Structure 1
Amino acid sequence: MSQPSSPEGLATSSCPTADQVSAGNTLWADIRALLPNTKEDLKLDFSEKVEESVISLLQQARDLLYGAESLCSGSTRETCLQVSEIIIDYSWEKLNIGTWRDVDKDWRRVYSYGCLFKVLCMCNEQGSIADTIRICDMGLLMGASILDNILVRIINVLQKHLTYGKRSAEEDTKEGQRKKIRNDHTTVPSIKSEEAIPRLHCPSLEHFRENYMIPTKPVILEGIVDHWPCMKKWSLDYLRQIAGCRTVPVEVGSRYTDEEWSQTLMTVNDFIDQYIVNKNSIGYLAQHQLFDQVIGRKYIRLYSPQESENLYPHETQILHNTSQVDVEDPDLVKFPKFERAAFQACILTPGQVLFIPVKYWHYVRSLDVSFSVSFWWL
């Protein structure tokens, strides 16, 4: 039997899921409060580049959502879910034809609306909140902002209702094995005194600017991020808890010049489980960089721009700022001039911040499971 709509015009729910019960039966009410009051307020304005048939599907999904019959009705929810998935599938094809910069923003908005309608259906069915968050993330990553960034606001609500279970003994054992494998294969390089990057404790901004930034000299800054909450809070377990179910873009591979290097979308949990890897290519940026070490240690080498010829940059324009040399195992027959390339080095530990001047070549290798935060500016 159908139920009347709420006073605001949006279909209500009287059949909470298991997740909703554990969260005090308030999830759908919290989500509903983020939506426009009536279907007329949820405007679907698109350019002529979006076919009428697609707009009709968007309107159908919206009308089902705001209809008199509750989404708790199995048939209504299933129909809305099917329409949403058709919208997602069709707009996904539009997003993946040609280059990304040529994708019309309206098709990105269509994709986000498809994700929104699917999420609203999922909030009313037996399912995982983590799966619902994943759909929101896909809308954010591949789509465009809609309804005052509603997908972000929905994620904020969903995360409040998300419960975090303890890791199983099997998962803990596997994590321990991964750490042991990484540590067993990690060598800590020795650094000669003449190669060591200088250190500076809590300099004034003026001193740093005049003595290091303007003359473009690398330096390790100490004591300037000790107050950051992440220096005390961050750990693998903490990152799993606050962001483990979030979907993010990930670069997979030890170096981006390798054939197997790729980019993919995955959850933070999957990334931690599968791809805590070293970055060991060498390249430079056209910006100054502050490289802040938060967890673990990294071995870093810096080469000045004057050493560029000795580093054998790739000849292609897209990789002109990347060296062909394997820094710690160079082929000196193929790259003989690399042997005379002068460098500075350090082992960066938690709480230290490395200033990497513009166009300085930098090589980074993790010595532990490690996390860093970088800032760039011109």
Structure 2
Amino acid sequence: MASNTAGDLAYDVLETPTLDSESPNLLLQISEQGGYAYVSMSVLAAAGDLRAAEATREMAWEQLHSGPWHSVLPVWRDAYSMACLYVAKLHHRAGDFGEALKVLDMGLIMGGTLLRQDLHAAVEKVTAKASELRVSEEEQGEVIVGGENAYHEAEVLGVLPMKSLSSKIIGKRSALSLEGFLCDYFMSGSPVIISDCMGHWPARTRWNDMDYLKRVAGDRTVPVEVGKNYLSSDWKQELITFSQFLERIQSSDCTSTLPTYLAQHPLFDQIHELRKDIFIPDYCYAGGGELRSLNAWFGPAGTVTPLHHDPHHNILAQVVGKKYIRLYPASLSEELYPYTETMLCNSSKVDLDNIDEKEFPKVKDLEFQDCILEEGEMLYIPPKWWHYVRSLTTSFSVSFWWSNCGGSPAS
């Protein structure tokens, strides 16, 4: 997105007050971890050498991928953020706002917390400059998300797992009070659908408008999953812009192409404009604990999250579209054949879309609860309850995970 007016912007620098004050101490910590080459290159990067800045980013990137993610030292995550800021500042100075924004997003996605405020401030400034210079396109009117992936009730059972919607349907409560939630569901560890409590969310109207989504987030880089699901051999991850992701959703035909899914990503920590469109439900304060994570689940019809369980209380808010969800209680864990590998021990070996009854004979007769979660509804999933999720239309969902002080009543 280079501009002819780049020369006019040469002195319009990105300010990085945290980086300026913390860099001596951060470089000292990097030196103590043997990062002498990084420190040498960072001095040149700070002086305006783009090749040196890219070199520091590459060095930090290699450290981030030197072993399991949990074993990466926090100082190298901060080093990656530092390098991203140096690179972005130089792209910004040259008027190449698209590249600057891409690098800043990588800093937010992969970097540490030390320089996060600088990264967000830089994103805000770069985005504003990019908007000023973007050529105005012809107005095309409002594009409704998911218009081509309409939901047809008569066709649903043909794509859902065996016995779907024939057993116990998850109960639904309208505008459930916090006291009612605590007494009737939280304390007993029982799932429930809650309706009529998202009407005040700006997301309920804004996220149905493709033009709005492209305007506030289109140039941002996001990680997506491509393939049937994370247990499949064809599964992979990519980094694309949010506009490219939306285009894939609009053109997706899950019968001939692999679906692209923005799944379990802390999108709202990265893109603050979208965070303003939602609110934390009061139910997430039940138990006196704290919110653990707030994640986005955006994708076309046909995306599947295979049968698994999570350690926290979960409110799944269905903002756009519809999803089929099946739940099994935690007491049935052994009958659901969990993986023995540590990384996948919360996932079931059973593919509900194609159950191998010889290999998994116990599954066929297990009792479960299921539902179709409609647009504007929330589903409470207690800790360690197994759940399978399939999008029936283009779907934008938000999950709120939280823990309570005294441990889970359901665990």
TM-score range, shorter chain: 0.7 to 0.9
TM-score normalised to structure 1 length: 0.77
Task: Give, in angstroms, the shift of residue 145 of structure 1.
Answer: 4.1
Indicate how the Cα distance of structure 1 residues 315 and 148 shifts in structure 2: closer, same or farther if over 3 A, else same: closer
Q: Please give the alpha-carbon distance, in whole angstroms, between the structure 1 residues aligned to 2:322 and 2:5.
A: 40
Task: Give, in angstroms, the shift of residue 362 of structure 1.
Answer: 0.9
2:316 to 268, 291, 310: 291
In structure 1, give the amino acid aligned to 2:180: H
Query: Which residue is equivalent to 2:380?
Result: 355
Q: Secondary structure at 1:282's aligned position in 2?
A: strand
1:206 to 168, 176, 179: 179
In structure 1, give the amino acid aligned to 2:41: L
Q: Please give the alpha-carbon distance, in whole angstroms, between the structure 2 residues aligned to 1:110 and 1:87.
A: 8
Task: Give, in angstroms, the shift of residue 39 of structure 1.
Answer: 7.5
In structure 2, give the amino acid aligned to 1:56: S
1:118 to 87, 101, 106: 87
In structure 2, give the amino acid aligned to 1:211: D
Show the 5 A alignment for 1:87-166. 87-127=56-96, 129-146=97-114, 149-163=117-131
Show the 5 A alignment for 1:225-240. 225-235=198-208, 236-240=210-214
In structure 1, give the amino acid aligned to 2:393: D
Indicate how the Cα distance of structure 1 residues 341 and 374 shifts in structure 2: closer, same or farther if over 3 A, else same: same
Deviations 1:288-317 (A, max 9, x none): 211100001101111122333432222333
Indicate how the Cα distance of structure 1 residues 40 and 249 shifts in structure 2: closer, same or farther if over 3 A, else same: closer
- Contact 1:36/1:42 (CA < 8 Å) preserved in 2? no
Q: Please give the alpha-carbon distance, in whole angstroms, between the structure 2 residues aligned to 1:357 and 1:318.
A: 21
* Structure 2 unmatched ranges of 5 or more: 158-162, 249-259, 261-298, 404-411
Same amino acid, percent of matched pairs = 33
Indicate how the Cα distance of structure 1 residues 355 and 19 shifts in structure 2: closer, same or farther if over 3 A, else same: farther
Indicate how the Cα distance of structure 1 residues 26 and 83 shifts in structure 2: closer, same or farther if over 3 A, else same: closer
Q: Secondary structure at 2:230's aligned position in 1?
A: coil
TM-score normalised to structure 2 length: 0.72
Query: Which residue is equivalent to 1:270?
Result: 244
- Contact 1:314/1:324 (CA < 8 Å) preserved in 2? yes
Query: Which residue is equivalent to 2:190?
Result: 217
- Contact 1:20/1:26 (CA < 8 Å) preserved in 2? yes
1:311 to 312, 318, 336: 336
Indicate how the Cα distance of structure 1 residues 195 and 113 shifts in structure 2: closer, same or farther if over 3 A, else same: same
User: 311-320 or 154-163: which moved more?
Assistant: 311-320
Alignment size in residue pairs: 339
Q: Secondary structure at 1:162's aligned position in 2?
A: helix
Q: Secondary structure at 1:93's aligned position in 2?
A: helix
The structure having more radius of gyration, on CA atoms, is: 1
User: 312-321 or 360-369: which moved more?
Assistant: 312-321
* Structure 1 unmatched ranges of 5 or more: 1-15, 66-79
Q: Secondary structure at 2:400's aligned position in 1?
A: strand
Indicate how the Cα distance of structure 1 residues 19 and 130 shifts in structure 2: closer, same or farther if over 3 A, else same: farther
Task: Give, in angstroms, the shift of residue 193 of structure 1.
Answer: 6.9
In structure 2, give the amino acid aligned to 1:333: K
- Contact 2:108/2:119 (CA < 8 Å) preserved in 1? yes
Task: Give, in angstroms, the shift of residue 150 of structure 1.
Answer: 1.2
Task: Give, in angstroms, the shift of residue 52 of structure 1.
Answer: 3.8
In structure 1, give the amino acid aligned to 2:4: A
Q: Secondary structure at 1:374's aligned position in 2?
A: strand
Indicate how the Cα distance of structure 1 residues 212 and 137 shifts in structure 2: closer, same or farther if over 3 A, else same: same
Query: Which residue is equivalent to 1:49?
Result: 33
Deviations 1:112-143 (A, max 9, x none): 2222222122112253x222100111222223
In structure 2, give the amino acid aligned to 1:300: I
- Contact 1:50/1:106 (CA < 8 Å) preserved in 2? no
User: 229-238 or 248-257: which moved more?
Assistant: 248-257
Q: Please give the alpha-carbon distance, in whole angstroms, between the structure 1 residues aligned to 2:20 and 2:189.
A: 58
Query: Which residue is equivalent to 1:18?
Result: 4
Q: Please give the alpha-carbon distance, in whole angstroms, between the structure 1 residues aligned to 2:336 and 2:238.
A: 30
Indicate how the Cα distance of structure 1 residues 104 and 335 shifts in structure 2: closer, same or farther if over 3 A, else same: closer
Task: Give, in angstroms, the shift of residue 49 of structure 1.
Answer: 2.1
Show the 5 A alignment for 1:177-216. 187-189=155-157, 192=165, 194-216=167-189
Deviations 1:153-188 (A, max 9, x none): 10011112223667899xx99x99x9758979x941
Deviations 1:76-122 (A, max 9, x none): xxxx1122122222232222222333333333333322222221221
- Contact 1:28/1:123 (CA < 8 Å) preserved in 2? no
Task: Give, in angstroms, the shift of residue 195 of structure 1.
Answer: 1.9
Q: Please give the alpha-carbon distance, in whole angstroms, between the structure 1 residues aligned to 2:382 and 2:223.
A: 27
Q: Please give the alpha-carbon distance, in whole angstroms, between the structure 2 residues aligned to 1:37 and 1:271.
A: 32
In structure 2, give the amino acid aligned to 1:135: V
RMSD: 3.5
Q: Secondary structure at 2:233's aligned position in 1?
A: coil
Please state which structure has a larger fraction of its residues in strand. Answer: 2
Q: Please give the alpha-carbon distance, in whole angstroms, between the structure 2 residues aligned to 1:286 and 1:273.
A: 34
Q: Please give the alpha-carbon distance, in whole angstroms, between the structure 1 residues aligned to 2:182 and 2:99.
A: 47
Query: Which residue is equivalent to 1:76?
Result: none
Q: Secondary structure at 2:214's aligned position in 1?
A: helix
- Contact 2:45/2:86 (CA < 8 Å) preserved in 1? yes
